[in-house]
Amino acid sequence: MSEFVTIEKGHGPDGRIAIVRFDRGDGVNALSPEAMRQLTNAARSFEDDASTSVVVLTGSEKSFTAGFDLKDPEGRARRAMDLGTLRRHLKLGPRMTRAWQEMEQITIGAIEGFCIGGGVALAVALDFRVMARSAHLRVPEIGLGMNMSWQSVPRMLHLIGPARTKQAVILADQRITADEAYEWGLVEQVADPGKAFDVAMELAAKIADQPPLSVAMTKLTVNRLAHALDDLASHMDVDQFALASLTEDHKEGVAAFLERRKPKFRGR
């Protein structure tokens, strides 16, 4: 089994910064089911780590991640799953984003290249995001006949408000540039191309210099207040996604994507 995720600890002030690198070595960095499991395990590995205050999550030089891997054999097997099995399999994504959101450490995403779909869902589960000026975000789920799930809609809503969230999610073909993402409040800092990781590490060092316990407790308080109603608002994510995946529009959306053509949706 390939290892897509590596963890480096002991960086920065008093060794309080850890780096999690997600790199499949193909320049695309798609989120296969196995990649999501590894990212989930990486986040959970910090649960009892009192020596780490900040975790920087970075992708490859060309891509943070292209989102869910539509070509992965395990992912494609969803088409033949019964509803119960499908619902269990669809929990991989929200389990991953929840694991990263619930980390006690401050989390920072360093985004180069493109960050698409599930990549955006992962990025908005982090505390801060640094994005290279040459990078872009895109949320193509609706264009594939699916709904944006993994509890990312309420997270985006907290960051950029209702109108911008609708704009980002519904206009599936829209690329969100780094400058737009910064203006909207979707990312906190914009860096020169190739420098997102360096800027993220600078931010991490500033945070690591602060009292660790106070930082952790402040994060917990802010998250509890901000996300108190998120489960209520998005508890149907998995079932909506499962339902959408059974539609003709979803089959058409995926087929059009793989065949590089414009889809023809019929609302059924």
Q: What is the pLDDT of residues 12-66, one digit of tens each?
A: 999 999 999 999 999 899 999 999 999 999 999 999 999 999 999 999 989 999 9
Indicate the pLDDT class of residue 78, thresholds 50, 70 and 90: low
Instruction: Confirm if 65 and 31 have CB atoms less than 8 A apart.
Output: yes
Number of domains in the chain: 1
**Residues β-bridged to residue 31:** 68
SS3 of residue 205 by DSSP: helix
> Is position 72 within any domain?
yes
Sequence-distant (6+) residues with CB within 8 A of 29 are 22, 23, 59, 60, 62, 63, 64, 65, 66, 119
Residues 256 and 123: their CA atoms lie apart, in Å, by 26
> Is position 55 within any domain?
yes
> Is position 268 within any domain?
no
Predicted local distance difference test score (pLDDT) of residue 9: 97
Supply φ then ψ for residue 113, to 5 degrees: 70, -120
> Is position 43 within any domain?
yes
Instruction: Confirm if 33 and 89 have CB atoms less than 8 A apart.
Output: yes
> Is position 265 within any domain?
no
Lowest mean pLDDT among 72-81, 98-107, 169-178: 72-81
Range of the domain at 229: 5-259
CA-nearest of 156, 67, 64 to 111 is 64
Q: What is the radius of gyration, based on Cα positions, of the chain?
A: 18
Q: Which CATH number is 200's domain given?
A: 3.90.226.10
Q: What is the pTM of this model?
A: 0.89
Predicted local distance difference test score (pLDDT) of residue 70: 72
Is it the case that residue 189 has pLDDT exceeding 70?
yes
> Is position 204 within any domain?
yes
> Is position 128 within any domain?
yes
> Is position 62 within any domain?
yes
Which tokens belong to 165? 């969230």
Burial of 162 (0-12, 13-18, 19+ CB in 10 A): exposed
Quick one: average pLDDT of 229-241?
Answer: 74
